[in-house]
Structure 1
Amino acid sequence: MSFTALHRALGLPPGPLTNDVLDAAVSAQVVETHDLDWKSELPPVSGISQTDVPKDVAAMANSGGGVIIYGVRESQKAATERIDAGEFTEIHERAYRSAAVTAISPPIFGLEIHRLGEDPHAVAVVVPPSIDGPHLIYKNDLFGAPIRNDADTAWMKERQIEAMYRARFDERLHVTQATDSLYAEAAGYHDTSAHALFVAVATPRIPNVSHRLSRDDARRIYRDAQKIALTYSRNVGVHPLEKIEILNPRTGLRRWVADTAPTGEANWQEARASVHHDGSVSLVAAVGGHRKTATEYFGGHEVEARGIECAVADFSALVRAASSVSDLSEYDVRVGIEWSGIGDLRFLENDAQGNAFDSTARALRIFSPVRTTLIASESARDFHGQVYQLAEDCVNQAGISHLHVLDPVPEEE
């Protein structure tokens, strides 16, 4: 659900941005503000990065986010009537999104684009809030940082730019601390001396504050995540999300928790996931001591590489599913393997038949946490690429070069 300047001006609760909402805003002659910009015409597809699009989008992001509406005529900043903005084709949309990434630094991801009505056509571009400001635009050898000044666009002064950089670095530190705190909490809930544990947490760069997740929301996230994970990976190995009670999550401290019923210290299928009201997610799963044969098990320190791949796929899918429910985009991520038992961690590869072998993988006493940023609002293909890279970072640390469970990123058509 969205809550835009139009919803606020009309006194509406969070909800979809529809053609009826736009009609009501125009009828009420809603006035432009720092987070609402009326435009009569769409920019041309050709040379879109040389138009005002980068400036308009960067100004909105630098001002806390907002919505740009194409297809509305205004007078004295107030909407007066709808006019046809022209058809917004898929090519037009790709060019628009590309301009927000290539013509703005740092790039702006996660634009929401809504096509509203057919006669007349209108397009609403929702620019998300950003903590990566100031976003700069370049023209030839010059650059500037645009910002909304009420209904107008202005240019930041040096002190404003300095203050925004300081805010960016402070916010990044805050997010990192929040991620580390969530990681320590997730890892601390489990015994790491019986079997090695995969621990992964993701904290949204901008938390969700608009609504609390319901139990139905949590069920939907877990159910969708199971399906999404299998679009990245083959259904082999141990997928943690298949071992948890996704239909009966229990309430926790500002979160919904789903876990397996423990059967003792040697529970090789142990898994626990949580989705938080602020958009954070965590996944903890046993990756050591998996079943070797019908009657044999690996040692608690022995970790199959494919088990890590399955866990990364499930965790990333959980992030993707949670982001769609909470309308979030950018996540700070920390992934690790915790082991406090006797002996070094020993990583095992799997052959084409799924049999584990020692190969050239090396033993590790400590697995260094992998840190990254996941952009959950990216296209399915681009997000697949992020998942693949995260899994590679995890197994490469043990000297393993190739992934066996995750599918390569599909070629562009």
Structure 2
Amino acid sequence: MDFTPLHRALGRQPSDLTNELLDEAVTQGVAETDDLDWKKAFPTTKLAHSDVPKDIAAMANRGGGMIIYGVDEDQRKATERVTVTDFGENEERTYRSVAVTAITPPVFGLDIRRLGEDPAAVAVIVPASVDGPHLIYKNDYFGAPIRNDADTVWMKERQIEAMYKARFDERRRSDEAMEALYTETVAGRDTDKRAWLIAVARPRIPGVLKRMSVEDALEVRERAGRLALTYSEREGAHPLEHLTHSSPRTGLRRWVLPNTAGGSSSWREAWAEMHFDGSVALAAALGGHRSGVRGETLKGNEVESRGIECAVVDFLSLVRAVGEKRGHGEYEVRVGIEITADTHLKVYPYDPFYQGVLDSPSAQMASYTPVLSSVNAAASDEDFHRQLFQVAEDCVNQGGVSHLVVIHPAPESDDEQ
């Protein structure tokens, strides 16, 4: 369900954003506010040189808001529905592109929806941003627009200064929270005996700390398992296959998905957490795996590249599933391999032809530098696949392995075609 500035203006509870809500707003003559902007027509040409970048940046700098095209206004109050024509996939792609290319820093995560048919409107939900101030450049000049009630004005120097300070403070707090989450996830793992992949993700804009039901937790877990197999092959030790399907444990503002691999399968041990603020954590044993059809057992400091891939694809699928359920887009991600034994970490390439690891490692490392990245959990399937592929590739490249063998090749972007 949605709770948009339109819902708030109408005094409505969270519900789906519908054409009927827009009709009600016109009937009541709802006025523009600092987070709700009526536009009669949708611009169709030269969006980068129109007011579109300024309107988006102003909403982002304000803390998020909603721009609705297809509503005429008088004295800032909605008076009439006006049909928006010629708005399709290409126009939406161009609009999103303007938010990225004509604004600095870019504004990601626009939620664009078409409402109604005759008349038809386009609603653009601009998310809150921690990257302000967002600037608009015109030739050699720049400015930072912001909503002031129903008007868009330009920020003064001290406002810009305060917003930069807020950005840097938030970045510091976010880094500290990520470090704490990573350290917490490492704790209790037998890193003195074998290598563990530790992966954590935190929304760039944490949501309301709302408890997730056990039913939602299980739904997310199943959704992540299905997603992982759309991005990768089933072969290899996928951590999600060894997390509970039915009995998550409650934790401190989180659900814990406990390990189910025991006894002779303990080499597949894995644990995951879904926090109520949208954060995700995964710990998966990598060292000491059984490798290939020959049944060798690697030592605790020996890791096969296929195991890294399986863990990364499962982790990011869990991030995407949590993001979908909780309404999060941008995530900060950290993936590392931890081992405290007095020995070098060895990464072995997996050869799918021989169904086993090669005889010698591609790399021997005294330590593994965590891979840091940002992913958009709300991206299209193709875009998210590309992001996932890049993170996994970075992880195995550090181990001296050039190619992924479990994760399917990422689809080409429009710029590459």
Range into which the TM-score falls when normalised by the shorter chain: over 0.9
Instruction: Tell me the alpha carbon deviations over residues 384-413 of structure 1, each in whole angstroms, 9 at most, x when there is no partner.
Output: 222111112211212222221122211357
Instruction: Name the structure 2 match of 1:11.
Output: 11
Instruction: Tell me the alpha carbon deviations over residues 135-166 of structure 1, each in whole angstroms, 9 at most, x when there is no partner.
Output: 11112222111100111000011111111111
Change (3 A) 1:177 1:60: same
Report if aligned partners of 2:270, 2:282 keep a CA contact under 8 Å in 1. Answer: yes
Change (3 A) 1:358 1:154: farther
Opposite residue 386 of structure 2, the aligned amino acid is G
Report if aligned partners of 1:195, 1:268 keep a CA contact under 8 Å in 2. Answer: no
Distance 2:97 2:367 in 1: 41
Identity of aligned residues (%): 56
Distance 1:2 1:76 in 2: 28
Instruction: Name the structure 1 match of 2:390.
Output: 389
Distance 2:146 2:226 in 1: 41
Distance 1:33 1:359 in 2: 65
Give secondary structure in 2 for the equivalent of 1:126: strand
Report if aligned partners of 1:279, 1:328 keep a CA contact under 8 Å in 2. Answer: yes
Instruction: Name the structure 2 match of 1:332.
Output: 332
Instruction: Name the structure 1 match of 2:178.
Output: 179
Instruction: Name the structure 2 match of 1:113.
Output: 112
Instruction: Name the structure 2 match of 1:310.
Output: 310
Report if aligned partners of 1:198, 1:308 keep a CA contact under 8 Å in 2. Answer: yes
Distance 2:376 2:188 in 1: 28
Report if aligned partners of 1:360, 1:400 keep a CA contact under 8 Å in 2. Answer: no
Instruction: Name the structure 1 match of 2:212.
Output: 213
Opposite residue 233 of structure 1, the aligned amino acid is S
Instruction: Name the structure 1 match of 2:352.
Output: 352
Map 1:6-405 onto structure 2 (within 5 A).
Answer: 6-44=6-44, 46-209=45-208, 211-261=210-260, 263=262, 267-292=266-291, 296-353=296-353, 354-359=355-360, 361-405=362-406
Opposite residue 267 of structure 2, the aligned amino acid is W
Report if aligned partners of 2:53, 2:136 keep a CA contact under 8 Å in 1. Answer: yes
Distance 1:261 1:307 in 2: 18
Please, which moves more after superposition, 144-153 or 227-236? 227-236
Shift of 1:195: 2.1
Please, which moves more after superposition, 214-223 or 29-38? 214-223
Opposite residue 70 of structure 2, the aligned amino acid is G
Opposite residue 105 of structure 2, the aligned amino acid is P
Instruction: Tell me the alpha carbon deviations over residues 242-301 of structure 1, each in whole angstroms, 9 at most, x when there is no partner.
Output: 111133322211111112136369821111111111110011111111113576421111
Distance 2:364 2:263 in 1: 27
Change (3 A) 1:194 1:267: farther
Report if aligned partners of 2:209, 2:276 keep a CA contact under 8 Å in 1. Answer: no
Report if aligned partners of 1:347, 1:358 keep a CA contact under 8 Å in 2. Answer: no
Distance 2:27 2:252 in 1: 44
Aligned residues: 412
Distance 1:8 1:274 in 2: 33
Distance 1:290 1:77 in 2: 65
Change (3 A) 1:205 1:375: same
Change (3 A) 1:263 1:294: farther
Distance 1:336 1:262 in 2: 22
Report if aligned partners of 2:242, 2:260 keep a CA contact under 8 Å in 1. Answer: no
Please, which moves more after superposition, 81-90 or 251-260? 81-90
Shift of 1:28: 2.1
Report if aligned partners of 1:346, 1:364 keep a CA contact under 8 Å in 2. Answer: yes
Instruction: Tell me the alpha carbon deviations over residues 218-260 of structure 1, each in whole angstroms, 9 at most, x when there is no partner.
Output: 1221111112212222222111111111333222111111121
TM-score by length of 2: 0.95
Distance 1:127 1:82 in 2: 21
Opposite residue 304 of structure 2, the aligned amino acid is E
Distance 2:209 2:35 in 1: 17
Shift of 1:193: 2.2
Report if aligned partners of 1:34, 1:152 keep a CA contact under 8 Å in 2. Answer: yes
Question: Which segments of 5 or more consecutive residues in structure 2 lack a partner in the other structure?
Answer: none
Please, which moves more after superposition, 102-111 or 371-380? 371-380
Instruction: Tell me the alpha carbon deviations over residues 104-163 of structure 1, each in whole angstroms, 9 at most, x when there is no partner.
Output: 111111100111000100110000000001111112222111100111000011111111
Change (3 A) 1:125 1:103: same
RMSD of equivalent CA atoms = 1.7
Shift of 1:345: 1.2
Change (3 A) 1:359 1:47: farther
Report if aligned partners of 1:198, 1:336 keep a CA contact under 8 Å in 2. Answer: yes
Instruction: Tell me the alpha carbon deviations over residues 161-211 of structure 1, each in whole angstroms, 9 at most, x when there is no partner.
Output: 111111111101111111111111111032212321110000111111073
Opposite residue 147 of structure 1, the aligned amino acid is I
Change (3 A) 1:391 1:327: same
Give secondary structure in 2 for the equivalent of 1:285: strand
Report if aligned partners of 1:201, 1:282 keep a CA contact under 8 Å in 2. Answer: yes
Report if aligned partners of 1:194, 1:266 keep a CA contact under 8 Å in 2. Answer: no
TM-score by length of 1: 0.95
Change (3 A) 1:20 1:248: farther
